[in-house]
Amino acid sequence: MANTYDEYELLVGKIRSAGLNLELIKDRLKQQAIETPSWGYANSGTRFQVFPWPGAAVTTRQKLDDAAMVHKMTGIAPSVALHIPWDVPEDGDYVGMRQYAEAQGVRLGAINPNVFQEQEYMLGSIANPDPAVQQKALEHMIECCEILEKTGSDVLSLWFADGTNYAGQDNLRARKGRVEENLRKLMPHLPAGARALIEYKFFEPGFYSTDIPDWGTSYLFSLKLGDQAQVLIDLGHHPLGANIEQIVAFLLDEGKMGGFHFNNHRYADDDLMVGSVNPFELFLIYTSIVEALGSGDALAAQTAANIAFMIDQSHNIEGKVAPMIHSVLNCQEAYAKALLVPWEALGQAQREGRVLEAHQILVDTFRTDVRPLLRQVREEMGVPVDPVQAYRDSGYEARIAADRGLHTSSGGYQ
């Protein structure tokens, strides 16, 4: 749907009356980048069943094709995260994979080691009581550091399923020591300029204890590991009611806010589409980031400018490519609203203790219809003004369903 003159001009007037720079806002929206995950284009499921989707990607090349389509529709999804070994090239040619991605108009992004899907990891990976299992996990992560250099990537995304199910199953202090020791061994293998982002999860698959259960634990490890280590926040990895935007603000202030895995949850780690359950939370997260960018605090601003934004969702019943487009657009809308916060008015209300007025300023900004602004930005970027409708009209969904068929498996570079 094209803009009407009145819709856009009314919004422009509101932006300027708030003392905001329209061109700067548009520039930041054009520079926004949301990484999509290779595995998000493949079949996935619940603990009970996988429901295959016609045309779901089976090979990594197909995943890269789908990611390129999302970027073509949105203009702000230029990179694709890989999961190893799900995306290992059959011939070991990561340079060729990189060249293929770039030929499709995207680049390879974060490398995600998998240290949770093999039989040896039943009692954990780097926290496992067996030194041989720890070594196996460490060697795999070191291999992923080498893959970073081959793919031109600069983020190693670390999540560990390590934990216990029963009190007394293992020595908790010893497990902490094993995690720290193996992370210390890993860091010298990280390429110069690359970052290790340490993810956390408060429960699952271990239901008594998780070895990296919260942001404080990730933060502590990242402090001990040095400047190349930061915290990765998965929006679904928190207890219900956790104030994620406050966590973001704290980590920005400490220079340890490294990246996001965007999704949404209703009950636990549901991996629903980001912004689908709690769009206000997503807006507030972006508000914390935008505030840091303009704060004048060099550390917070630099940290905010280098955040790695990535989708990490499980599309079980809603398709693959279309929900990824929706997710990217939800992030775009939240960011646009955060860029419209009238910081001078908000700061004055905060300093003067006008509680309800300060709150209302944020709520009013969240309620702003930014779609006219986003349509204008997309038009200037040369991408579809309505990405979802453009995707429907493209025929891509029908083509991949016909070409790829219905498969129950996924993974592998062909």
Predicted confidence pLDDT, tens digits, the chain (414 residues): 666 668 999 999 999 999 999 999 999 999 999 999 999 999 987 777 888 999 999 999 999 999 999 999 999 999 999 999 999 998 899 999 999 999 999 999 999 999 999 999 999 999 999 999 999 999 999 999 999 999 999 999 999 999 999 999 999 999 999 999 999 999 999 999 999 999 999 999 999 999 999 999 999 999 999 999 999 999 999 999 999 999 999 999 999 999 999 999 999 999 999 999 999 999 999 999 999 999 999 999 999 999 999 999 999 999 999 999 999 999 999 999 999 999 999 999 999 999 999 999 999 999 999 999 999 999 999 999 999 999 999 999 999 999 999 987 655 544
Angle at 112 between CA 147 and CA 407, to 5 degrees: 105
Predicted TM-score (pTM) above 0.85: yes
What strand order describes the sheet that includes 79-84? 36-37, 79-84, 107-113, 155-158, 195-199, 229-234, 257-262, 308-311
In a domain, 183, yes or no: yes
* pLDDT for 411: 54
Angle at 140 between CA 134 and CA 146, to 5 degrees: 140
Q: Among 56, 57, 86, 35, which Cα is nearest to 318's? A: 56
Sign of the dihedral through C-alpha 140, 414, 387, 398: negative
* pLDDT for 413: 44
- Find all residues with CB under 8 Å of 89, minimum gap 6, and list them: 60, 96, 97, 413
In a domain, 374, yes or no: no
Domain of residue 251, CATH code: 3.20.20.150
Sign of the dihedral through C-alpha 233, 239, 243, 249: negative
Could you list the residue range(s) of the whole structural domain that residue 235 is in? 33-336+384-404
In a domain, 196, yes or no: yes
d(CA 42, CA 58): 6
In a domain, 18, yes or no: no
What single-letter amino acid sits at 309?
Answer: F
d(CA 145, CA 148): 5
Termini Cα distance of the chain: 38
Cα dihedral angle (91, 83, 273, 51), rounded to 10 degrees?
Answer: 60
Backbone angles phi, psi at 111, to 5 degrees: -100, 125
Backbone angles phi, psi at 41, to 5 degrees: -95, -5
Number of separate domains in the chain: 1
d(CA 347, CA 337): 17
In a domain, 356, yes or no: no
CB distance 11 to 375 below 8 Å: no
Question: Cα dist. 121→48, 164, 237, 252, 373 in Å?
Answer: 21, 12, 21, 33, 49
